[in-house]
Amino acid sequence: MSIIQYAVNGAGIKSADYLDPREVDESTDDWEYEQMVQDAAEDYWENHDGWEDHWPLNIELFVDGKSVGLFEVVMEMEPTFSASKQKRTA
């Protein structure tokens, strides 16, 4: 299992946060790395005050202490709607 870390907006590995360990080897492709970065963005949002940041963010992914690359992460919003009946005026 590999140690997976991520850093936001150029913070570097010294300030990196951890994700759950995963199997990573030479057959790991870009799609899998992108999924890891999406998991990192979710972790950052939920556990590290990411909702206070300005998106999109640049997230650098590290596997076993080595940078895999820098990824731009865009936050997609899903709108929710609520309705309330209005009183009629005469």
pLDDT category of residue 76 using cuts at 50, 70 and 90: confident
Q: Per residue in 13-66, pLDDT tens?
A: 998 999 999 899 888 999 999 999 999 999 999 999 898 999 999 999 999 999
Residue recorded with tokens 């990192």: 40
Q: What's the pTM?
A: 0.81
Q: Prior bond to 21 cis, omega within 30?
A: no
pLDDT at 90 over 80: no
- For the chain, domain boundaries: 2-73
What pLDDT, on a 0 to 100 scale, did the predictor assign at position 66? 95
What whole-number distance in Å separates Cα of residue 23 and Cα of residue 45? 24
